[in-house]
Amino acid sequence: MSYGAGVALQAAVYQQLRSHPALADLIGDAIFDAMPVEAPSGVHVSLGTEDARDASDTSARGSRHDFVISVMSGSDGAGFGAVKAAAVAVADALEDVPLQLSRGRLAGLWFLRASARRVKNGAARRVDLTFRARIDLI
């Protein structure tokens, strides 16, 4: 098993989100790998945590990556409606898309779950979307 495809997966997901027109219509270019020092206002997307495991089998070496993409509102009053709409656009951007990786081959990408909650003493909203990717390390 190698973690080598982790960087390639993150780059491909980031690029796919940045190039998705419906998501851009909702949040512009507010997609972050690293959050800015000052929290952005409005709804924004942040790439989050990742857990990787060996997924090698008799046909190929591989890895399984469970990763989180968070959709958040600032404390400017955006409600769940706006945050959930952006979360839907994130899920749509990654559904049935053959992401091109710089290392390995994406064998599959699946939505696993979502969790919506209030944060910052109820002033902001957050939806965490968890996806699973299976990568063949060819």
91-130 pLDDT, tens per residue? 999 999 999 999 999 999 999 999 999 887 777 899 999 9
- Among 41, 37, 46, 56, which residue's Cα sits nearest to residue 14? 46
Measure the CA–CA gap between 5 and 24, rounded to whole angstroms.
26
32-82 pLDDT, tens per residue? 988 878 878 889 999 999 999 999 988 889 999 999 999 999 767 678 999
Give the model's pLDDT for residue 40: 81
Classify 102 as helix, strand or coil.
coil
Give the model's pLDDT for residue 77: 66
Do 75 and 123 form a contact (C-beta atoms < 8 A)? Answer: yes
Question: How many domains does the structure of the chain reveal?
Answer: 1
- Among 81, 65, 80, 71, which residue's Cα sits nearest to residue 32? 71
Residues of the domain holding 50? 5-136
R_g (Cα) of the chain, nearest Å: 16
91: domain CATH number is 3.30.2000.30
Do 135 and 63 form a contact (C-beta atoms < 8 A)? Answer: yes
